[in-house]
Amino acid sequence: MALEIVLLTGMSGSGKSVALHALEDTGYYCVDNLPPELLSSFVALEHKHHGNRVAIAMDVRSATGLPQLPQQLAQLRSQGVTVQSLFLDATTDTLVRRFSETRRRHPLTKDDLLAGRRALVQTIELERELLAGLREQAHVIDTSAIRASQLQSYIKSLVATPSGQLTLVFQSFAFKRGIPMDADYVFDVRMLPNPHYEPSLRDLTGQDPPVAEFLRQQPDVLRMQQHIAQFLDQWLDLLAQNHRSYVTVAVGCTGGQHRSVYLVERLCETFGQRWTTLRRHRELDGR
């Protein structure tokens, strides 16, 4: 059986430890903060002793060895190893808040050089620059507005999808809580009729039949659904030919409860007939 590797990278404070625990629960042999220089020899050793599924976390603590990582990954793929790269990210404000709440030091912080919020922001931006190359080659997960339990579920669903083919991730969200950083495409549906203003529908979600029936009867909702589907149909084949593993399509409304949820459900039904699809409802998952 071919060796499967999940390479987990990302910003400090973005939830890599939570993600690594999820991978361990899924049956991966996990190691944290492996120096990139040891990747090839480590993979050979683990394949021999621990089976076919390995998860490796790397971050800015190994900054000096990161430039050589793309070449190493290409070499592993040429040897028949399946490599899945995941990058965890979050907004700078979120990362600053998490470091403040936990009173942890950022790994790039110097003892007597950096202190305070302004310096922490500068350090985080430096980390973004150092990891930009890895981010570009990975599937990005924005952890800014999700709980640890949601992140664990996301990770488990991603590694359960078939490798070597394009996976579509449809995500609903609320604009009032920010646009997901991991979105490849963002569609704004706030102009559509809003079930929130129907007293009998206000406390329901786009997954509930009464809301679905209300939105199904709205011509503009159907037109929006068709336009999004037509756009994706135009480009998905080219994305797949470009060896993309994941494409994240985010659909946002005001509260992330009705319209965006309904459209994500319908789009998953449509595209699930041809592509591997995952659905996420950022404001509903983990309720």
Among 270, 279, 191, CA closest to 231? 270
Rounded Cα–Cα distance for residues 70 and 78 (Å): 12
Written as one string, the DSSP assignment of 209-247 is: HHHHHHHHT-HHHHHHHHHHHHHHHHHHHHHHHTT-SEE
pLDDT at 253: 98
Q: List the pLDDT tens digit at each of the 287 positions of the chain.
A: 578 899 999 999 999 999 999 999 999 999 998 888 888 888 888 767 756 889 999 988 877 778 888 888 888 888 888 889 999 999 999 999 998 888 788 888 765 444 577 788 989 999 999 899 889 989 999 999 999 999 999 999 999 888 778 999 999 999 999 999 999 999 999 999 999 999 999 999 999 999 999 999 999 999 999 999 999 999 999 999 988 889 999 999 999 999 999 999 999 999 999 999 999 999 998 66
Summarised one tens digit per residue, pLDDT across range 138-153 is: 999 999 999 999 999 9
Dmax over Cα atoms in the chain, in whole Å? 63
Task: Say what the pLDDT of residue 69 is.
Answer: 86
On whether 260 is known to bind a ligand per the annotation, the reply is: no
DSSP letter string over 9-51?
Answer: EE-TTSSHHHHHHHHHHTT-EEEES--GGGHHHHHHHHHHHS-
Give the pLDDT score at 111: 55
With tokens 């963002």, the residue in question is: 186
Q: Which has the closest alpha carbon to 9: 68, 96, 95, 85?
A: 85
Question: Was 1 annotated as part of a binding site?
Answer: no
Was 220 annotated as part of a binding site? no
Which tokens sit at 60?
Answer: 């800015």
Residue 16 in marked binding region: yes
Say if residue 178 carries a ligand binding annotation.
no
5-46: per-residue pLDDT in tens? 999 999 999 999 999 999 999 999 999 988 888 888 888 887
Please report the pLDDT score of residue 50 as a whole number. Answer: 59
- The count of other CB atoms within 10 Å of the CB of residue 18 is 17
**Ranges in the chain annotated CATH 3.40.50.300:** 4-160
Known binding residue 10? Answer is yes
Q: What span, in angstroms and rounded, lies between the C-alpha atoms of 167 and 276?
A: 5
Q: Is 15 annotated as a binding residue?
A: yes
Among 10, 59, 13, 283, which residue's Cα sits nearest to residue 150?
283
Query: What is the pLDDT, as a whole number, of residue 113?
Result: 45
Spacing of C-alpha 124 from chain mean position:
19
* Structural tokens at position 230: 């037509």
Spell out the residues 6+ positions from residue 18 whose beta carbon is closer than 8 angstroms to its own.
148, 151, 152
Q: Was 208 annotated as part of a binding site?
A: no
What 3-state DSSP class applies to 120? helix
Q: Is 13 annotated as a binding residue?
A: yes
144 in a known ligand binding site:
no
Q: CA dihedral defined by 12, 17, 20, 24, rounded to 10 degrees? A: 170
Residue 146 pLDDT = 92
CA dist 146 and 177 (Å) reads 11
Q: Quick one: CATH architecture of 4-160?
A: 3-Layer(aba) Sandwich (3.40)
